[in-house]
Structure 1
Amino acid sequence: MSKDQNGIPLNLVNLHSGEEQLREKALSIIDGDLRLRLHLAVVEAAMDLPDIFRQLDTRDEDLKVVQVLGMRTFNAFGASLKLTLSGYHQNSALILRDVLETVFLLNLFAGDRNLIGRWRHADKKARMKEFSPVEVRKALDARDGFNSKRRAEMYELFSELAGHPNMKSAWMMRPQKDGDAVIGPFMEATALEAVISEMGRLAVQLGEQIIAFFPTDWTPGLPSLVTFSQHKREWLSTFYPATRHENP
């Protein structure tokens, strides 16, 4: 087995080189598409919110839970973006499902902060009974009076396309809609746009949930809050111009 000077198998070195070439292609696609740049702008602004929120000095153990969950989403967005820019769109979407699940949990906590302590102290059996992904979605739909099960549909979409091995999951391994699945990374504008657009949608929702926990008198968080709000308004006016709903 051939290796480079650092002892890394050359096949892996060549794979990384190919990923970097795909990244350059992805950046070129993004540079020529205002909508993709807008998605990434709101993603960056949303990531900045948990980054600044983690710096809040607090002894409130419940708020510390929110800080950690926010940090989790920061890492997830960073990893998801790196993967899709390198041509691993299905794997990138799988990580976005984690963001979706965390956003739902934060949304539940924002509506009733007493639930944070219950979640924090629950054993596995109790946590799964009350805070499993499906139970969280049910609780949110009941709270908000939603009957469409839109949250469940979004979660199932991520699960089918990226989370579980099934025939539909092969769709995200095809550079062309009617073509064959391929092994390894690839870069194609439609696949890149699909992932980044979902990333932008999730970023808007995450930002709204993190801001809900900002202390009203906490001035260090104000610049990040204002920046996110500006990007959010631009994002909503571009992608949802005919609606005033807070959550896309």
Structure 2
Amino acid sequence: MMTKNTNILPSNLTKLHNGEEELRQKALGIITADKRLQLHLTAIESVMDLADIFRQLDTNDENLKVTQILAMRTFNAFAASLKLALSGYNQNSAMILRDVLETVFLLSLFAGDRTQIERWRLADKKTRMKEFSPVKVREKLDLRDGLTSKRRAEIYELFSELASHPTMKSDYMMRPQKDGDAVIGPFMEATALEAVISEMGRLAVQVGELINAIIPATWALAIPTRLAFSLQKRDWLATFYPDAIFKSS
């Protein structure tokens, strides 16, 4: 009888993994004591369910398949980002969230103008960079929505500076204390965990709204999942943006 080798990893990598698992338990303790963080996580799960049901739609529409793949991309991104956050890697978790943000902008463009999907899908590299680079997509959305505040650009830049690019500001997310030293490896600190999961929850709701708008309204299989998301979204908005609920009522 063959015995399973449980010592495949070098000893230091095994110790690192064990430390990550200990931090995960600490993170779950922080979340257990915070109903708002639990609400963010429930929203994230609801949106991942929505992405999962969307991928099951059998279609020959190549443009719709593009949006399915983008929704699947967000599923994977949320799973990975959450895994990293709970293991103490806040900067790396936020770096993945910038990918989600970029995907949100692209899905928003496609949901508002379905002709853009085919143009993006068939574009060569030069055309894609000219018309669909992150900055071009944001500019199209701002023009569509009549916005001049550049809020989308500001949020994208914040994610870039704090998480995605090696800038002087990126070390902020490697400090357990605001004025303390940066540390190597994972760490668990309640404020940092709350910040990352809160951003994850906000992005999840946006992703869910877009997937919900793209899924064919007549597709019966998706109705329970779409309804579950809508109810979860209402609870989330009532907690974090009560004025939005009042205005939509």
Q: TM-score range by the shorter chain?
A: over 0.9
Residue 7 of structure 1 deviates from its aligned partner by: 3.5
2:150 aligns with 149
CA distance in 2, matches of 1:211, 1:176: 39
Q: Map 1:1-248; keep pairs closer than 5 Å.
A: 6-244=7-245
Residue 213 of structure 1 deviates from its aligned partner by: 1.0
Alignment TM-score, normalising by the size of structure 1: 0.96
CA distance in 2, matches of 1:97, 1:161: 10
CA distance in 2, matches of 1:78, 1:86: 12
Give SS of 2:195's match: helix
Residue 68 of structure 1 deviates from its aligned partner by: 0.5
Deviations 1:131-169 (A, max 9, x none): 000000000000000111111011001000001001100
Residue 6 of structure 1 deviates from its aligned partner by: 3.0
Give SS of 1:178's match: coil
Residue 242 of structure 1 deviates from its aligned partner by: 2.2
1:158 alignment partner AA:
F
2:234 alignment partner AA:
R
State the aligned residue count: 243
Unaligned runs of 5+ in 1: none
CA distance in 1, matches of 2:245, 2:228: 19
Runs of 4 or more consecutive aligned structure 1 residues displaced over 4 Å after TM superposition? none
CA distance in 2, matches of 1:68, 1:152: 24
CA distance in 2, matches of 1:214, 1:102: 17
Unaligned runs of 5+ in 2: none
Give SS of 1:57's match: coil
Residue 173 of structure 1 deviates from its aligned partner by: 0.3
CA distance in 1, matches of 2:9, 2:21: 17
Deviations 1:53-87 (A, max 9, x none): 00001000000000000000000000000000000
CA distance in 2, matches of 1:35, 1:149: 29
Give SS of 2:242's match: coil
Deviations 1:106-141 (A, max 9, x none): 000011101100000001110010000000000000
